């Protein structure tokens, strides 16, 4: 099996395995106790904290170990908002943040706070000027990921941090995807990360709170981890997490160059090998191992299953692979095609032969999925001003398939109204127009569902 889903969880690094086994023998005791076994555990914990601080670029007493990256985000957001509650009740996030950030924002809103979501460009990047415009006198906290988890786009963290610092607003950076490749630049105030993203064990995260940041930990008080992460420290996982972070950092420069070449190969060749594909994300400012593309007229769930049968583990942001039948909030915010979406995220050590085999297999898999799905005979009626395509009750990617089937018969300047009650159509039909050079006129209410209007330009 070629594992191409490192953005979800990277395989356990050999150094992490060795450190974990050693720490299971030496780090099982309570590090708060003064007897020998407790002192040994404390030495392991202190050494891990020092090493983590060096990797992040902060002081050791600013590092808190948590039970996961998600817990680090939740603790960091809640603690910073509460610590600055006298300033105000306003939070700023980007529209493409990880769900852990967006869930924290939802809770904050239900408790009476206000949230501003900063939009992104089609590449998935925010504009520092948009963060500057979102800042208010009552802004308590701003949050920005260092790099996007679905499309790999690297965010302008240093520039946004400068804007926030000038306004006296702390910036929390979700560095889960990027910390294994290097420290986060800029004058940020808080940082969260997750060990399983860089080859450490799951169940270990870290939170950094810079000195001078007003912070009030939520929940019952606990004497461990500065009172910010309650419960007995998982010392073996912490030791393994930090050991693997140091190991991947030592390999980062060489491995980054190698993975960039492999992902660039995928970015360049997939559109040539497979018709009707949109490669998404910033082509330059992106993480080394992530490349994401979407295929028109493809059922994303079937595509992932077929790739799995061929020996490839990939992920998707397509609505066809979700229980909610709604597209990824990241792809939606970017305004790009969601149907048939594939994210390839290569772990360090990925063999070139596996990438070549993926490129050999992909065209046949996509073609087979398209053939198997077929293009259902569209139900059309001639309206006074437009052709109407009735795709009600049909799910991604069928509405776009039906649009594409009737479009060759539409005269230049003619209009097609696509009736659909599938949420994905709101994203995929405009994206189809963008790819095809046609004009998307917008949407309008219909007796059932929504009518999406498309004008043929050529």
Phi, psi values for residue 455, rounded to 5° = -110, 135
CB atoms within 10 A of CB 411: 8
Per DSSP, the three-state class of 353 is: helix
Catalytic residues: 320
Element (H, E) at 180: none
60: left (phi over 0), alpha (psi -120 to 50) or beta: alpha
By DSSP bridging, strand 90-94 and strand 114-118 are parallel
Q: In the block, which residue shows the tokens 């305004």?
A: 335
User: 166: exposed, middle or buried (C-beta count within 10 Å: 0-12, 13-18, 19+)?
Assistant: exposed
Tokens of 49: 């904290």
CA–CA separation, 381 vs 403, rounded Å?
13
CA 210 to centroid of chain Cα atoms: 25
154 forms bridges with which residues in the sheet?
147
Per DSSP, the three-state class of 18 is: helix
C-beta of residue 177 within 8 angstroms of C-beta of residue 147 = yes
C-beta of residue 140 within 8 angstroms of C-beta of residue 92 = no
C-beta of residue 232 within 8 angstroms of C-beta of residue 108 = no
Per DSSP, the three-state class of 362 is: helix
Tokens of 137: 């006198």
CA–CA separation, 310 vs 1, rounded Å?
8
Phi, psi values for residue 190, rounded to 5° = -135, 155
Tokens of 48: 């891990």
CB atoms within 10 A of CB 220: 7
Radius of gyration of the chain from Cα atoms? Answer: 24
C-beta of residue 387 within 8 angstroms of C-beta of residue 417 = yes
Angstrom distances, CA of residue 330 to CA of 122, 181, 208, 319, 364: 10, 22, 26, 12, 28
Tokens of 445: 């209410």
């Amino acid at each position: 099996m070629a594992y191409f889903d490192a953005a979800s969880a990277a395989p356990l690094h050999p150094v992490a395995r060795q450190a974990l086994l050693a720490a299971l023998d030496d780090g099982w005791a309570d590090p708060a106790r003064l007897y020998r076994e407790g002192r040994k555990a404390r030495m392991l914990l202190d050494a891990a904290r020092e090493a983590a601080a060096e990797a992040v670029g902060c002081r050791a007493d600013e590092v808190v170990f948590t039970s996961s990256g998600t817990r680090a985000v939740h603790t960091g957001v809640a603690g910073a908002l509460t610590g600055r509650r006298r300033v105000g009740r306003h939070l700023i996030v980007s529209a493409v943040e990880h769900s852990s950030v967006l869930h924290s924002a939802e809770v904050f809103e239900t408790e009476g706070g206000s949230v501003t979501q900063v939009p992104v460009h089609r590449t998935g990047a925010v504009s520092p000027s948009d963060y500057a415009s979102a800042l208010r006198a009552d802004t308590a906290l701003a949050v920005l990921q260092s790099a996007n988890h679905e499309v790999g786009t690297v965010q302008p963290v240093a520039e946004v941090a400068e804007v926030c610092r000038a306004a006296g607003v702390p910036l929390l950076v979700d560095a889960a995807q990027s910390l294994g490749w290097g420290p986060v630049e800029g004058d940020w105030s808080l940082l969260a990360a997750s060990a399983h993203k860089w080859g450490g064990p799951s169940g270990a995260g870290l939170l950094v709170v810079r000195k001078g940041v007003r912070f009030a930990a939520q929940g019952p008080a606990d004497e461990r981890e500065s009172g910010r992460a309650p419960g007995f420290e998982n010392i073996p996982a912490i030791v393994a997490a930090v050991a693997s972070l140091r190991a991947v950092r030592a390999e980062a420069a060489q491995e980054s160059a190698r993975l960039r070449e492999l992902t660039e190969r995928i970015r360049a060749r997939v559109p040539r090998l497979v018709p009707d594909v949109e490669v998404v994300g910033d082509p330059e400012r992106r993480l080394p191992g992530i490349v994401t593309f979407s295929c028109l007229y493809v059922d994303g769930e079937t595509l992932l299953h077929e790739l799995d049968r061929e020996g490839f583990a990939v992920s998707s942001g397509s609505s066809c692979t979700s229980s909610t039948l709604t597209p990824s909030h990241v792809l939606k915010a970017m305004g790009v095609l969601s149907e048939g979406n594939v994210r390839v995220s290569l772990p360090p050590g990925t063999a070139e032969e596996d990438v070549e085999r993926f490129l050999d297999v992909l065209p046949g898999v996509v073609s087979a999925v398209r053939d198997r799905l077929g293009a259902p005979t569209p139900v059309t009626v001639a309206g006074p001003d437009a052709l109407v395509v009735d795709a009600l009750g049909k799910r991604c990617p069928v509405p776009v398939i039906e649009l594409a089937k009737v479009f060759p018969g539409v005269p230049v300047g003619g209009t097609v109204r696509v009736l659909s009650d599938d949420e994905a159509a709101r994203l995929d039909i405009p994206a189809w127009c963008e790819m095809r050079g046609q004009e998307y006129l917008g949407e309008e209410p219909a007796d059932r569902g929504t009518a999406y209007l498309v004008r043929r330009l050529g």
